[in-house]
Amino acid sequence: MVNDFDIKTKISQFSSFSDFADAFQLNANDLVITRASIYEPFIQKLHLDCHFILQNQYGNGEPSDEMMNRMLRDLQGVRYDRVIAIGGGTVIDIAKIFVIKDIQNATDAFERNIPIVKAKQLVVLPTTCGTGSEVTNISIAEIKARHTKMGLADDALLPDHAVLIPQLMENLPFKFFVFSAIDALIHATESYVSPKATAFTRLFSKEAIHIILDVFKAVAENGSEFRHQRLADMLLAANYAGIAFGKAGVGAVHALSYPLGANYHVPHGESNYQFFIEVFKLYNEKQPTGCIQEVNRMLEKELQIDAHGDYRLLYEKLSALLSHLIQRKPLHEYGMQREEIATFANNIIVSQQRLLKNNYIPLTEEEIRKIYDRLF
């Protein structure tokens, strides 16, 4: 039976990392996976006797099976019964694999060659305001052994606790703040128009859209440093969006961003940003009546514009706000070649049905090609 709504992860908020460490009684049986940029300012001074893995020592960028396997090798003989992930999407995606019983090789997990059975508790502290991964059951990694990206979605990977601490985002550079928040905005809008959306998921999507655009407007008006006043709001909005898409899914924007991330290593949020406006304009063009009208009304309200039904005007206004925060680049600037447009579009149709089935309405291969062409 599919429920309209449920959330298994317990969510809590703390004002500082040390308050969290006390409340959760971090100890020698905990494996903490994080990055030096978080460890040094917030964790080191507490002299905790947990076992630490610093992901940046295993490579940068998106998570891969090789990265995970090197960590697993270094952990041989280390006993831990709880995994604490403190980081952005990469750290969280890695940590989700470490809760699997008898995990020795991450590739086996992604290919489901081993049973996906949960053996450890998982506590997740996001340090960006984007992924919502602290409340979802999916891990995505580059499987270098197979030259592809794969997702593993299984309730065994669901975090037991999501812990929101705005302090951990204090050092997040402006660029990553914006890209991750745009990713959260896309989670909220794509899940709102998904055929799997329910009245309950839409409640979370709607509030996330409201908060994110409100913060974006304030930052556009007051400058990038102003974001520090609103970190708690943004972290909450990203979590709401995660709750919504954990249930309703995301669609074409994420699907189209996949080849750009896989082939040119464009970070997830930045890659999604490329396609967001064009996909929603096409949705409006193809099927103007339906729940997309509700999204448009929300946008009109937040952007303080009466577009009189002209979706182009509305989405141009949204695009202008996002560009004011950070400029979008044409796809060729990432190294993409024009000849790849057809291959990418075909790959998406062949391999991204998991996401495309959550589209507001189906898109054809030709339409996907046209979007790439326009953004090239």
Contact residues: Fe ion, CB under 5 A: 183
The distance of closest approach from Cβ of residue 345 to Fe ion in the complex, given in angstroms and rounded to an integer, is 20
**Smallest distance, Fe ion to C-beta of residue 272, A:** 6
Identify which of residues 20 and 245 has a Cβ nearer to Fe ion in the complex.
245
CA distance 64 to 76: 19
350 class by beta-carbon count within 10 Å (0-12 exposed, 13-18 middle, 19+ buried): exposed
Which residue's Cβ lies closest to Fe ion? 183
Least distance to Fe ion, CB of residue 130, Å = 7
How many Å apart are CA 373 and CA 365, to the nearest integer?
A: 12
Return the bridge partners of 124, or none: 85, 162
**Measured from the CB atom, is 140 or 303 closer to Fe ion?**
140
Pick the closer one to Fe ion by CB: 26 or 249: 249
Q: What is the 3-state secondary structure (H, E, C) of 119-140?
A: CCEEEEEECCCCCCHHHCCEEE
Strand partners, 13: 164
The terminus-to-terminus CA distance of the chain in angstroms comes to 43
Burial class (CB in 10 A: 0-12, 13-18, 19+), 112: exposed
The total of other beta-carbon atoms located within 10 Å of residue 20's CB is 24
Beta carbon of residue 187, minimum distance to Fe ion (angstroms, whole number): 6
> Tokens at residue 11, please?
């969510």
3-class DSSP assignment, residue 141: strand
Q: Closest approach of Cβ 111 to Fe ion, in Å?
A: 23
Which CB, 97 or 355, lies closer to Fe ion? 355
- The smaller minimum CB distance to Fe ion, of residues 65 and 183, is found at 183
Least distance from C-beta 36 to Fe ion, angstroms?
25
Give the nearer residue to Fe ion in terms of CB position, either 9 or 136: 136
14/269 with CB nearer Fe ion = 269
Residue 30, CB-side half-sphere exposure with 13 Å CA sphere: 17
The kind and range of the H/E element at 174 are helix 174-193
Q: Which is nearer to Fe ion, 93 or 183 (CB)?
A: 183
Nearest to Fe ion of 30, 270 (CB atom): 270
- The minimum distance between CB 30 and Fe ion, in angstroms, equals 28
Minimum CB distance to Fe ion, residue 106 (Å): 21
Beta bridge partners of 31: 51, 83
Q: Do residues 349 and 368 lie in contact, with contact meaning Cβ atoms separated by under 8 Å?
A: yes
Q: 3-state DSSP call for residue 376?
A: coil
Nearest approach in angstroms of CB 366 to Fe ion is: 25
Q: How big is the chain by its Cα radius of gyration, in Å?
A: 20
User: DSSP of 260-324, one letter per residue?
Assistant: HHHHH---HHHHHHHHHHHHHHHHHHH--SSTHHHHHHHHHHHHT---TT-HHHHHHHHHHHHHH
